[in-house]
Amino acid sequence: MKRQFALTVLLAAVVLPARADRLPVPSNPIYREECGSCHLAYPPQLLDAHSWLHVMNGLDKHFGSDASLDPARRTAISDYLGTNAGGRKTGVTADAKGQPLLRISDTAYFKRKHREVDPATWKRASVKSPANCTACHARGADGDWSERSVIIPK
């Protein structure tokens, strides 16, 4: 019995860290098509539902672009993001005054995960900004965000 328990603990110690940095690839085809046409279709878990609602309500001025959608597609994406939003793993995505954060790179989760990245790295032409996740996370689009698969471009 002790041996079986020890084996279970050992397996958990090996397998859980490998899964800790996995976020499911967005499964909604409308979300992948619309949002993924301009940038990575970010895992919905990276913002809470309140933040996603504000992102979706501001599509006409989406970070300097007009990303407006027809009402049916907008509703489908909003419903998907709200249902699959983060919170448990990534925490509440609001500032100190309770205002929703609209940039994933402004969240405490993102900052904690990237605290060792030199600020100059974000400005490299090969990276461009913290929003360009796949510049360093080559397997991010497949749901693998682990540090083991990070390659920081020069």
The three-state (H, E, C) secondary structure of 74-134, written as one string: HHHHHHHHHHHCCCCCCCCCECCCCCECCCHHHCHHHHHHCCCCCHHHHCCCCCCCCCCHH
The domain containing residue 40 runs over which residues?
Answer: 21-149
Look at residue 2 and tell me if it is in a domain: no
Q: Assign 139 to helix, strand or coil.
A: coil
In a domain, 69, yes or no: yes
pTM of the model: 0.81
**Phi, psi (deg, nearest 5) at residue 4:** -65, -40
What are 94's strand-pairing partners?
100
| Residue 76 is assigned to a structural domain of this protein | yes
Q: What is the per-residue pLDDT across 103-146, written as a single tens digit (0 to 9) for each?
A: 999 999 999 999 999 999 999 999 999 999 999 999 988 889 88
Does any domain span residue 7?
A: no
Encode pLDDT of 31-82 as tens digits. 999 999 999 999 999 999 999 999 999 999 999 999 999 999 999 999 999 9
In a domain, 64, yes or no: yes
Asked, for residue 5, whether it belongs to a domain, the answer is no
For residue 102, count other CB atoms closer than 10 A to its CB.
15
Q: How far apart are CA 22 and CA 122, in angstroms?
A: 22
Report the number of distinct structural domains present in the chain: 1
**22 phi, psi to nearest 5 deg:** -110, 130
